[in-house]
Amino acid sequence: MQSAVSSGSSLKADSVSVLRSITPNLVYTKHKGQAGKIAVVGGCREYTGAPYFAAISALKIGADLSHVFCTKDAGSVIKSYSPELIVHPVLEESYCIRDEDRSSVSAKVMAEVDKWMDRFDCLVVGPGLGRDPFLLECVSNIIRHARKCNLPMVIDGDGLFLVTHCLDLVRGYPLAVLTPNLNEYKRLVQAVLTSEVDEEDEAEQLKALVKGIGGVTVLRKGETDLICDGKTVNSVSTYGSPRRCGGQGDILSGSVAVFLCWARQCADLGELYPTNPTVLGCIAGSTLLRKAAALAFENKGRSTLTGDIIEYLGRSLEELCPHC
């Protein structure tokens, strides 16, 4: 599963083998839903692109159904990006509701999300969520409820802002994956370890961070992606692109969500590895995004946008893992 090449105290993952080992065969006997049902919680007055990118990426990688839970304002716009998504415009922001209605609205939001929760294989929390306090309060309840349902969660963007300020939401939950970029990672390290980022000993600090949060998996994005569940630190540095346009993190969150489902299906079937399936999902998700970004960059150069990378997800997966 992992090569013996050690880079500092992290293991350079044989990431293409990991991806191949957890990607399910395409067979005609399966029915809708078995390749994964993903839901993205995000999308508000300001942000509509991010949840779209995460949700459509999940479909393009091979999930069967992709839902988005967003605010009313964001709903029509996200729907207009693609008829492939199922969009629930059920979240609310403070500016739309009166103070005295907060608890009833909050209960209503939870009831709407609750109806669906046990139909999903993985939740992506955060792309384009925004930072409205009432919205974040509702999303905290969604996270608590998802934990009760043992639902894996990928937490990114403003979801990380929320979790960094309320670590108890994920503390000790092994099915949570946090996917911080450089700045989000800095804030996590400050919150958990009350220190600065140690660039000399990245792997050890990441391990300490994960232990400090207790039992989650962290995928730290960067020139090299580092993945740690508290026991091992794996690195993925294959492929990649020098283009840093906004939105690539959203693709990653959707990608990790799908591979998490698939890795867990392998684990459930007893095709088990000595490795945590959550870690495998992260390795595969990172590898696929990096491959698609590389292909898009080869073709579009400096003008590569996130939408271009999404268009290469299918071909990238096919090249890494040809279907038989």
Residue 96 is encoded by which pair of tokens?
A: 């739309």
Please say whether the dihedral angle defined by the alpha carbons of residues 66, 70, 72 and 77, taken in this order, is positive or negative: negative
**224 assigned to a ligand binding site:** yes
Nearer to a second copy, 62 or 152 (CB): 62
Residue 213 interacts with a second copy (CB under 8 A)? no
**223 assigned to a ligand binding site:** yes
**172 assigned to a ligand binding site:** no
Check if the beta carbon of residue 283 is closer than 8 Å to that of residue 234: yes
Provide, rounded to whole angstroms, the least separation between the CB of residue 86 and a second copy: 7
- Between residue 144 and residue 183, which ones bind a second copy under the rule CB under 8 A? 181-182
**DSSP letters spanning 59-100:** HHHT-SEEEEEEEHHHHHHHHHH-TTSEEEEEE--GGGS-GG
| Total of residues contacting a second copy (CB under 8 A) | 66
Provide, rounded to whole angstroms, the least separation between the CB of residue 170 and a second copy: 24
**DSSP letters spanning 89-157:** EEE--GGGS-GGGHHHHHHHHHHHHHHHHTT-SEEEE-TT----HHHHHHHHHHHHHHHHTT--EEE-T
Residue 281 interacts with a second copy (CB under 8 A)? no
Helix (H/G/I), strand (E/B), else coil: 43: coil
Nearer to a second copy, 88 or 264 (CB): 88
Provide, rounded to whole angstroms, the least separation between the CB of residue 61 and a second copy: 7
Residue 219 interacts with a second copy (CB under 8 A)? no
User: CA 169, CA 172: separation in Å to the nearest integer?
Assistant: 9
Nearer to a second copy, 173 or 312 (CB): 312
**221 assigned to a ligand binding site:** yes
Backbone dihedral region for residue 172 (phi beyond 0: left; psi -120 to 50: alpha; all else: beta): left
Number of Cβ atoms within 10 Å of the Cβ of 96: 16
Provide, rounded to whole angstroms, the least separation between the CB of residue 37 and a second copy: 9
Percentages (nearest 5) of helix, strand, coil residues in the chain:
50, 15, 35
Residue 285 interacts with a second copy (CB under 8 A)? no
Nearer to a second copy, 3 or 82 (CB): 82
Residue 30 interacts with a second copy (CB under 8 A)? yes
- Between residue 180 and residue 209, which ones bind a second copy under the rule CB under 8 A? 181-182
- Between residue 295 and residue 324, which ones bind a second copy under the rule CB under 8 A? 300-307, 313-315, 317-318, 323
Nearer to a second copy, 45 or 211 (CB): 45
Please say whether the dihedral angle defined by the alpha carbons of residues 288, 315, 37 and 26, taken in this order, is positive or negative: negative
Residue 21 interacts with a second copy (CB under 8 A)? no
**244 assigned to a ligand binding site:** yes
**178 assigned to a ligand binding site:** no
* Among the listed residues 42, 152, 159, 247, the single contact to a second copy using CB under 8 A: 247
One-letter amino acid of 323 = H
What is the bridge-based pairing of β-strands 217-220 and 225-228?
antiparallel
* Among the listed residues 16, 19, 38, 53, the single contact to a second copy using CB under 8 A: 53
Q: What is the binding site for a second copy (CB under 8 A)?
A: 26-35, 45-50, 52-53, 59-65, 73, 76-77, 79-89, 181-182, 222-223, 240-248, 300-307, 313-315, 317-318, 323
